[in-house]
Amino acid sequence: MLVIVAPGQGAQTPGFLAPWLELPGVTDRLTAWSETAGLDLVHYGTNADADEIKDTAVAQPLLVAAGLMTARELFPAEEQVRKLVGAFAGHSVGEITAAAATGVLSATDALAFVRERGRAMAEAAAVTATGMLAVLGGDPEEVAAKLDEHGLTPANNNGGGQIVAAGTLDQLEALRADPPAKAKLVALKVAGAFHTEHMAPGVARLAELAPTLTVADPSVAYISNKDGEVVRSGAEVLARLVSQVSSPVRWDKCMETIEQLGATCVIELSPGGTLTGLLKRNVKGVATLALKTPADLEKAQALVAEHAGEENPA
């Protein structure tokens, strides 16, 4: 069974979209989506520097547009997703990519949603200086205790002993000075404490937007960050996208579901690499491929032909 996954914020790198613009129609598509996204996606995907694309209001629409663009290159006809893909999952903002790719939202509505999500989260992050640190390794109970001791939230559980701590910069510095034993701390390329109470204003803003969007049920199994459950209702997917802004991401649970569904191959949309890396470490015996450039499309298409077509669990 084939599973497609979409990465979250922090996966972007300067110029990552440049090779894709060589494909017919990609520039036109991104230019059209730029109007809805409220920013020049072509510029930010090719010429912008690391600081520019770290901006939450830029990074989030850019990642969703990149994911949808590469999904269309892999599956040019919409019905191919329903026929060939067993399940879809996204990490954080990647859930919006998954929602659009499975037909819950149109590409236009998805970009309108992520535009407001990115702006709202950037505004919320500007109120208090916050950030996120990946905590790699260490005893899980000790890690949890240390985060609690310093008032930090375990905003992401990425499986395999990788927890992302989120909170104020002062709280994060306190953790750096007093880390859990045998744990490595790595700063993430994000501009705020996402998936915590600091993002509550974003939830309210998206709750106002949600009723204006057209929603359909997902065409294939949609695996939710909230608890790793397969969600079959489009209305429930949208409700979860709204609340997800201030709720932890349980990617560990998503990977468990991917394994339980019987996945034999996982392909990660651009800018791929992060999620396939986690899957390689946590889900044994599953073929993986990160779609980094158009040069990866031929191999991806071969994997689709090899692993697609089994009964759709949706």
Task: Tell me which residues are annotated as active site.
Answer: 92, 195
Sheet holding 130-137, edge to edge: 183-187, 130-137, 162-168, 153-157, 249-250
Specify whether the CB–CB gap between 220 and 87 falls below 8 A.
yes
* Contacts of 214 by beta carbon, 8 Å cutoff, 6+ apart: 105, 106, 109
Residues contacting residue 225 through CB under 8 Å, at least 6 positions apart: 89, 90, 91, 92, 95, 240, 244, 249, 250, 251, 254
**What are the structure tokens assigned to 82, written together?**
């329903």
The answer to whether 1 and 56 are in contact (CB under 8 A) is: no
Distance between CA atoms of 143 and 154, rounded to whole angstroms?
9
